[in-house]
Amino acid sequence: MRFIGAFVGAGIMDRYPALRCGILESCCSWLPFWARRLDDQAEYLGTTATRHKLSSYLTGGRFFSSIELSEGDDLVRMTADFMGEGTLMFASDYPHAESMFPRSVDHFLGWERLSEERKRRLLWDNPVRFYGEP
């Protein structure tokens, strides 16, 4: 949370318009809260080095976050609805002990609250936009 606030609030994404930013291994369902909180605090404090609302940097297509399978399809769907289709990326959490590997992908594909199109975005489209073409 501090990293995102400092990184975005310092105007780094304005200074480097081609820069992409991603957070991994930190879940994603807290992002809607944090986006709203950043906007509120920026308005309250009145000082940021940015040209836009802070949340717009998180939803504008250059910020990415991996999901955690423990969040489940309901929280991932809620987060994607709030943050936009281009933000979230699948993560298996391998090789951590709490990983569902080797069933990670099967578990994710079984989520019924996510459309096939959204699953494709999380598995392929968004990671390719973040990391580049393999």
Q: How confident is the model at residue 50 (pLDDT cuts 50, 70, 90)?
A: confident
> Region 111-130: what's the mean pLDDT?
98
pLDDT tens per residue, range 83-98? 999 999 999 988 888 8
Alpha carbon distance 27, 29 (integer Å): 6
Instruction: Delimit the domains of the chain by residue range.
Output: 2-131
Residue type present at position 64 = F
Could you tell me what percentage of the chain is helix, strand and coil, using 3-state DSSP and rounding each to the nearest 5?
50, 5, 40
Q: Is the pLDDT of residue 49 over 80?
A: no
Query: b/e per residue, 3-13, with b = 16+ CB within 10 A?
Result: ebbebbbeeeb
pLDDT at 99 over 80: yes
- The average pLDDT across 89-115 equals 93
Q: 2-131 — its CATH code?
A: 3.20.20.140
**Residue 47 banded pLDDT, cuts 50, 70, 90:** confident
The CA-based angle 55-59-63, given to 5 degrees, is 100
